[in-house]
Amino acid sequence: MRTSICTTPLPLKLFGSTSVASTVVPDAAAPHPTTGALIDRFGRVVRDLRLSITDRCNFRCTYCLTPDARFLATSDRLSTAELIRVGRVFARLGIERLRVTGGEPSVHPDLIEILSALSPLFHDVSMTTNGSLLDDDSARAWKAAGLRRVTISIDSLDPARFQAVTRSNVTSERVLAGLRAAINAGLGPVKVNSVLLAGVNDADAPALAALARELALEVRFIEFMPLDADGIWSHDTVVSSERTILGISKVFPLVLEGRDRPDRTAVRYRFVDGAEGSVSTIAPVSTPFCAECSRVRVTADGFIRPCLLTNAEWPLRELLRDGSSDDAIECAIRHAVWNKDAGGALRLSAARSGARGRTMSAIGG
């Protein structure tokens, strides 16, 4: 067993309003375990890593990026070797599930190398993608590199609305073809993520539920969070999970099934008529699920972000570049996770008061 390796408290970086942050920052000097499971001071065991391999994206979704989005300089982004090293250290800390994300992870030139290096280390390796670069060849290559399953974001099946939301020339047909390629390549169970915006694409929920039935997959409706770069978020723009389920039920009656695991964010509903497939809701705005949270994120520029909705981050990049050992990296991770905030409700109140932090694409969804 390793002895205590954690001697240097890490600097804490805060994004957004310091007045809000000062109410949520835990005691950075709090002692944390140096062995055993990766655990926070509220007793939550962290088992899921979301690793953002790039902040770059070929879409400009209205709820995520600005049309003229600016991305990190290459030198500020973790290199492929650094990403792999971070993944390895998390694996030895007992992380079971890795989700590769971004930005758009499929635009990373070394995606295959990253997947090949990390997939043997985790029980489950998944990737969230906008599906624009998914076809038979890429799906097979990702599968061969060890990717187990994909979640594909599709916010509308209506061609015009799809392009209006994604602000991209890629068509919904193209992404649907990619989705079928992923199913054929065995990257399942394939899931679909949808973000509904009030008055924009909320009418599309039944059509997306029909897709779930047709292809026997899970379509997950995520409530719009105040993590957009354009600053369009307000409570009025959020379509609550309750509203989404009511809207779908008018067309396809649903019955509540619940969460697959207590730490799953998605609450699943099945179709009353016994059709295959399901719809799920992820409701961080209307029903925060912080008490069961098992996740930690690493941003593309190398910050540990224990909570999506609070602004505290701990830097890893310097440690990766200054000759620090893996034990020191492990210490930094343990420290950041130990100091994970109780929950993200404060970020939501920050959004109400106009204080904003990093965006979803910068954090890694």
| 21, 46, 90, 102: which one binds ligand SF4 (CB under 6 A) | 102
Stretch that binds ligand SAM, among 76-84, 171-179, 217-225, 342-350 (CB under 6 A): 217-225
How many residues line the site for ligand SAM (CB under 6 A)? 20
Q: How many Å is the maximal CA-CA distance in the chain?
A: 60
Helix (H) or strand (E) holding 53: strand 48-54
CB of 103 to ligand SF4, least distance (A): 5
Asked if 153 is part of the footprint of ligand SAM (rule: CB under 6 A), the reply reads: yes
Query: Phi and psi (nearest 5°) for 193?
Result: -105, 135
Stretch that binds ligand SF4, among 96-104, 196-204, 301-309, 337-345 (CB under 6 A): 96-104
Token pair 């970020």 in the structure block, residue: 347
What DSSP line would sit under 304-328, residue for residue?
EES-TTS-EEEE-HHHHHTT--HHH
Token pair 């992923």 in the structure block, residue: 182
CB of 222 to ligand SAM, least distance (A): 5
Residue 225 interacting partner from ligand SAM, ligand SF4, none (CB closer than 5 to 8 Å by kind): ligand SAM
CB of 64 to ligand SF4, least distance (A): 3
| Residues between 61 and 80 that touch ligand SF4 (CB under 6 A) | 61, 64-65
Asked if 360 is part of the footprint of ligand SAM (rule: CB under 6 A), the reply reads: yes
Pick 172 or 339: Cβ nearer ligand SF4: 172
Residues 212 and 252: beta-carbon distance below 8 Å: no
| Residues between 154 and 193 that touch ligand SAM (CB under 6 A) | 193
Q: The tokens of 193 are what? A: 């993520």
Residues 223 and 285: beta-carbon distance below 8 Å: yes
Give, in degrees to the nearest 5, the angle at Cα 197 between 158 and 236.
Answer: 155
Q: Which amino acid is at 155?
A: D
Asked if 129 is part of the footprint of ligand SAM (rule: CB under 6 A), the reply reads: yes
| Residues between 25 and 84 that touch ligand SAM (CB under 6 A) | 57, 63-64
| 40, 49, 86, 103: which one binds ligand SF4 (CB under 6 A) | 103
Q: What is the distance between the alpha carbons of residues 316 and 83, in angstroms, rounded to a whole number?
A: 11
String marking each residue 114-143 x if it binds ligand SF4 according to CB under 6 A: ----------------x-------------
**What letter does residue 133 receive in the DSSP assignment?**
T
Pick 132 or 278: Cβ nearer ligand SAM: 132
Residue 193 interacting partner from ligand SF4, ligand SAM, none (CB closer than 5 to 8 Å by kind): ligand SAM
Pick 302 or 365: Cβ nearer ligand SAM: 365
| 48, 55, 228, 341: which one binds ligand SAM (CB under 6 A) | 228
Asked if 50 is part of the footprint of ligand SF4 (rule: CB under 6 A), the reply reads: no
Asked if 128 is part of the footprint of ligand SAM (rule: CB under 6 A), the reply reads: yes
| Of the candidates 45, 43, 14, 49, the residue with the CA atom closest to the CA atom of residue 28 | 14
* 3-state secondary structure string across 242-301: HHHHHHHHCCCCEEEEECCCCCCCCEEEEECCCCCCEEEEECCCCCCCHHHCCEEEECCC
Beta strands in 55-154 (DSSP E): 97-102, 124-129, 149-153
Beta bridge partner(s), residue 267: 281
CB of 69 to ligand SAM, least distance (A): 12
Q: Which residues bind ligand SAM (CB under 6 A)?
A: 57, 63-64, 101-102, 104, 128-130, 153, 193, 195, 222, 224-225, 227-228, 360-361, 365
